[in-house]
Amino acid sequence: MGLMDGKKGIVFGVANERSIAWACAKQLADGGAEVAFTYQNEILEKRVRPLAESVGAKIIEPCDVSKNEQVESVFKKIGDSFQGLDFMIHSLAFANKDELSGRYINTSREGFLLAMDVSVYSLTLLCRHAEPLMNGRNGSIVTLTYYGAEKVIPNYNVMGVAKAGLEASVRYLSSDMGQNGIRVNAISAGPIKTLAASGIAGLRTMLEHCVEKSPLKRNITAEEVGKTALYLCSDLSSGVTGEIIYVDAGYNIIGM
């Protein structure tokens, strides 16, 4: 008996085998869930499709979250095939590389709006589509955030402001959707070397800092994030919503 036996869900944000979304999908599939996957574009499809097929996925669809028609199409497919939805992982974000170094004050209007659209608004959009499919099924939604939402992290810049918006969205969405039994939570993950993280100037320093300062004296793995996603998507966390859960080797509790 797996924790997720009989449950069906969708994972947004797999780019390759290093993606946090993949680590989440793997834990959920290993736990017995049927998982649908999306990929951002055709270039990434080549990476995503074999991974998805390795855990028996039948639904593997394109979805750029900045395109309403692609989002609508994915949820139509889910509605037709799954006839309901038990969990959704939102593990995606984007900002132009030149906004992720130097001074935050230089963020352009276009760069700001793009980061907000893809990294923040997309959660609200996906939740609105997921809600009717989750009604009556105690659905669970999980997104990914970072400590740069709360404290200044050099070079994280507009993404820190986006994550602050994302964390506030988690609270508003959990309040809206709670009456239908749907839970919304975020995992605040410590730094992990992924495709997206490589776009942030000084990632190596962030990783080294975590080893030096965190209580566990190490960095975390994507698998550890995946295990927390499994907890949040399963009935083990049935009373938990609107929370930001840290998987960061304890880094956030240190003052000095």
Query: Which structure tokens are listed for 152?
Result: 């200044």
Q: Among residues 218, 221, 163, which one has the least CA distance to residue 22?
A: 221
Q: Rounded CA gap, 225 and 251, in Å?
A: 15
In this complex, which beta carbon is closest to ligand NAD, that of residue 15 or of residue 249?
Answer: 15
Residue 161's SS3 state is helix
Q: Rounded CA gap, 88 and 182, in Å?
A: 11
In this complex, which beta carbon is closest to ligand NAD, that of residue 52 or of residue 192?
Answer: 192
Q: Is 15 in the site for ligand NAD (CB under 6 A)?
A: yes
**146 catalytic residue (yes or no):** yes
Total residues at the site for ligand NAD (CB under 6 A)? 28
Catalytic residue among 39, 104, 121, 146: 146
Give yes or no for a contact between 81 and 58, defined as CB atoms under 8 angstroms apart.
Answer: yes
Q: Is 195 in the site for ligand NAD (CB under 6 A)?
A: yes
Q: Is 66 in the site for ligand NAD (CB under 6 A)?
A: yes
- Candidate ranges 9-17, 28-36, 105-113, 133-141; the one touching ligand NAD (CB under 6 A): 9-17
Q: Rounded CA gap, 184 and 242, in Å?
A: 6
Amino acid at 212: E
Q: Is 207 in the site for ligand NAD (CB under 6 A)?
A: no
CA neighbours closer than 13 Å in the CB half-sphere of residue 155: 15
Q: Rounded CA gap, 155 and 86, in Å?
A: 36
Q: Is 221 in the site for ligand NAD (CB under 6 A)?
A: no
Q: Is 11 in the site for ligand NAD (CB under 6 A)?
A: no
Q: How far is CA 70 from CA 56, 166, 195, 196, 235, in A?
A: 23, 21, 23, 22, 30
Q: Is 65 in the site for ligand NAD (CB under 6 A)?
A: yes
Q: Is 153 in the site for ligand NAD (CB under 6 A)?
A: no
**147 catalytic residue (yes or no):** no
Q: Is 118 in the site for ligand NAD (CB under 6 A)?
A: yes
Residues between 75 and 94 with contacts to ligand NAD, criterion CB under 6 A? 91-94
Q: Is 155 in the site for ligand NAD (CB under 6 A)?
A: no
Could you list the active site residues? 146, 156
Name the residues that contact ligand NAD, by CB under 6 A.
13-15, 18-21, 40, 44, 63-66, 91-94, 118, 144-146, 189, 191-192, 194-197
